[in-house]
Amino acid sequence: MSSSAPSIVLPQGLRIGYRSRFRSTSPETVLATAEAPIELGNGRHLLLARNGRGKTTLLKTIAGIIPSLSGKVNCSGVVQFVDEDLRFDGELKPRQIFAALFKNGQRAFAMEMAERIELDVEKPYGKLSKGNRQKVGLIVAEARTRHNGPQVLLLDEPFSGLDFAARDKVDQIWSEHSEGIVRLVCVHPDEPTLKADSAIAIREGKLEPIAVHNGTLDWLETRTSLN
Number of neighbouring beta carbons within 10 Å of residue 36: 12
In a domain? residue 125 = no
Rounded CA gap, 100 and 91, in Å?
14
pLDDT band at residue 97, thresholds of 50, 70 and 90? very high
Q: What confidence tens digit (pLDDT) does each residue in 109-118 have?
A: 999 999 999 9
- What average pLDDT does the segment 99-104 reach? 93
Name the residue type at position 129: S
Residue 212 scores a pLDDT above 90: no
Quick check: is 129 in a domain? Answer: no
183 domain-assigned: yes
- Domain housing 40: 7-86+149-225
pLDDT of residue 1: 42
Q: Are 142 and 108 in contact (CB under 8 A)?
A: no
- Could you give the percent of the chain with pLDDT greater than 90? 68
User: Is the Cβ–Cβ distance between 121 and 114 less than 8 Å?
Assistant: yes
Instruction: Decide if 200 is inside a domain.
Output: yes
166 in any annotated domain: yes
* C-alpha pair distances (Å), 61 with each of 79, 192, 212: 12, 26, 24
Instruction: Evaluate whether residue 24 is within a structural domain.
Output: yes
What number is the average pLDDT over the span 44-70? 94
**Bridge-partner residues for 203, per DSSP?**
206
Check residue 6 and give its pLDDT: 95
Q: What one-character DSSP code corresponds to residue 105? A: H
CATH number of the domain at 62, please. Answer: 3.40.50.300
Decide if pLDDT at 19 tops 60: yes
What's the pTM value of the predicted model, to 2 decimals? 0.90
- Classify residue 142: in a domain, yes or no: no
**Identity of the highest mean pLDDT range in 34-48, 77-91, 158-172, 206-220:** 34-48
Q: Where are the beta strands (DSSP E) in the chain?
A: 7-10, 15-19, 28-34, 38-40, 43-48, 74-76, 78-82, 151-156, 181-187, 198-203, 206-210
pLDDT category of residue 138 using cuts at 50, 70 and 90: very high
Q: How many domains does the chain have?
A: 1
Whether 120 maps to a domain, the answer reads no
